[in-house]
A = this chain, B = another copy of it.
Amino acid sequence: MIKTPAIPLHSSGIPTRRDFLGKALAVGGSGFLLASMKAWGMDIASTRDAPPMLSGSGKGKTVVILGAGLAGMTAAYELSKLGYTCKVLEARDFAGGRCQTARSGTVLEELGGAKQVCNFDRGQYINFGPWRIPFNHRSTLHYTSAFGVPLELFNNDNDAAYIYNDNAAGPLKGKRLRQFEVKADMRGYVDELLAKSLKSGVMDQQVNATDKDLLIDYLVGEGYLSKKDLTYRGTEGRGFKVNPGAGMQPGPGVPSDPLAFSGLLESKLGHFYHSVHEFTQQSTMLQPVGGMDAIAKAFEKRVGKMIKYHSEVQKLRNLPNGVEVTVKDTHTGAMSVVKGDFCLCAMPLSVLRMVDADFSPKFKTALAAAAYAPVCKIGLQMGRRFWEEDDQIYGGHVYTDTKGINLISLPSGNWQGKKGTLLGYYSFGADAAELSALSPAERAEYAVAAGEKIFPGAYRKNYESSFSVAWHLVKYNMGGWAEWSEEARAQAYPVLVEGEQRTLLAGEHMSYLGGWQAGAIESAWQQMERIHQRLSTQGAAA
């Protein structure tokens, strides 16, 4: 039973916006909440920036939570605050799920693969699971704030980084460019073309005289066109041949020449950017200082006592008044049964569908509907931060079309440090499947060879050590994230969100923030609210 919370009054006697919204949600549900948000001018805020405000108590009731990833730990943390007994069953010896960071000593054994032990230097690490927190993922940021996890900026957008396409058509094939060269020139030429067309009068049918002048004015500024003849001849933002400096030499420097428009078009290099980033890729992005697993550790510190580690779920049974989960101790092989009033299953669907569970055929069919993404990453420790020292690239992504590489991402921290660990590839789909067939040493060699083409003379020379993952080969994950076809989203997803009997599902797969920590957290918030509702109602029948 949810009681309407009183609006806490601050010294001013005026409820804060958050108080008000909390009340709006409690009183009127999400429809009323959205209306309230609009009234308060919060159109762009996410619907959930804090856990649901629940009243009542869970005392004497037990929730069995399957999986100590972010979804499972979020639920355990919040439900236990309400008085529930939470029993979290985790197959691994550690919590965090996909939220892992590899550093010296980290062990990873892929299915049918070699065992890797990370031997990076002290202080070096790679976030081989989630690695970025967009500014609009308020739920994730709620916990970094609540738990005091120190953050730093993650550079997700660095125009000074290179773009290098091996398979580009035309003269720019295999040519290393700065991203700002491509952006400045493409936009400059496009703006020139449109400005001149407007000026010539051929578009007078579509654009009236006032808008025409305003638009030409905009295009001149946006594209750095000459005001006189509306021509693009390059701009300092695309870099100099010789940088400006002191005195007479270099003095003002020597401007650079733009690339030819036709060659740019032919290369399709302009396709790497858009007018603005997509929602989840926008600046600003943040990361925990020292590794993403700081978030997992912060949760684990608070709910660790509720977690039963090395407990692999074998069987799940919904009973008339509760649930019964059979687990195997992966150390001893001993089997045991864990009972509770309700079950929150926060393991990936890829794993859950291998568990012996008493779901209906409809539910089981739905469980099979999501594909799990093959995803590969590799961290490469470099003895020298040559990308900063030689190339002045401070974080961000080098883009390339080399098969399976996609991007080389440079670390956003420890600036000007002695060594650095970069992300050597971020690979999906068929490419990832191919890459994962290689041994760790072969993957490293592949990544180093690709990087060497972009940073000749430096990449291979400075390479020291690697740590790679193929998420689809990691036991208890079996993929990077759930991928929903349009049909599966329409048919299977609602069935799974609804849950069955005394079991609800949570995780990034139960959200539209797939693959993001925010999806796991917000899904947990949503489902724990429903569990609380169910267990607060007599009988708790579905």
Contact = CB atoms under 8 A, between A and B. Distances in A.
Contacts of A494: 248
A278 B252 CA distance: 14
Given A47-B242, A245-B512, A247-B511, A190 B219 contact: yes
Of A235, A412, A415, A494, chain B has the most CB atoms within 10 Å of the CB of A415
Interface stretch (A281-289, A323-331, A441-449, A533-541): A281-289
Contacts of A248: 494, 497
Interface string A381-417: 0000000001011111000000000000000100110
Given A155-B153, A160-B283, A248-B497, A243 B395 contact: no
B188 A197 contact: no
A102 to B, nearest CB: 23
Contacts of A394: 135, 153, 284, 286
Nearest to A150: B415
Interface string A37-61: 0000101111110000000000000
A239 interface: yes
B218 A184 contact: no
A251 B512 CA distance: 6
A246 B390 contact: no
A246 B513 contact: yes
A268 B216 CA distance: 11
Interface in A170-211: 176, 178, 180, 183-184, 186-188, 190-191, 193-194, 196-197, 202-203, 206-207, 211
Contacts of A256: 43-44
A297 interface: no
Contacts of A151: 415-416
B245 A511 contact: yes
Given A242-B34, A245-B522, A155 B284 contact: yes
Contact of A275 (B144, B191, B241): B191
B206 A203 contact: no
Interface in A128-159: 135-136, 138, 141, 144-145, 150-153, 155, 157-159
A214 B396 CA distance: 27
B221 A284 contact: no
B275 A187 contact: yes
A157 B283 contact: yes
A511 B246 contact: yes
**A interface residue count range (under 10 / 10 to 19 / 20 to 34 / 35 or more):** 35 or more
B512 A180 contact: no
B279 A218 contact: no
A319 interface: no
Contacts of A34: 242
A274 B221 contact: yes
A265 interface: yes
A416 B526 contact: no
Contacts of A332: none
A262 interface: yes
Given A197-B203, A416-B141, A416-B151, A244 B513 contact: yes
Please give the count of copies of this chain that the complex contains.
Answer: 2
Contacts of A434: none
A276 B180 contact: yes
A194 B202 contact: no
A215 interface: yes
Contacts of A202: 197, 202-203
A274 B224 contact: yes
B283 A245 contact: no
A238 interface: yes
A273 interface: yes
Given A160-B284, A415-B286, A47 B245 contact: yes
A236 B136 contact: no
Contact of A282 (B160, B221, B395): B160
B47 A276 contact: no
Nearest to A386: B17
A356 interface: no
Contacts of A236: 278-279
Nearest to A252: B512
A223 B275 contact: yes
27 contacts: A17-B457, A43-B239, A43-B256, A44-B178, A46-B245, A136-B160, A141-B416, A153-B153, A155-B284, A158-B283, A160-B283, A180-B276, A180-B282, A190-B215, A190-B219, A194-B197, A211-B261, A218-B268, A218-B270, A221-B274, A239-B279, A245-B511, A246-B519, A246-B526, A247-B526, A284-B394, A286-B415
Given A180-B276, A217-B271, A247-B526, 15 more contacts: A43-B241, A47-B245, A47-B250, A153-B153, A153-B155, A153-B415, A159-B276, A159-B282, A187-B276, A190-B194, A190-B219, A194-B197, A218-B271, A221-B271, A222-B274
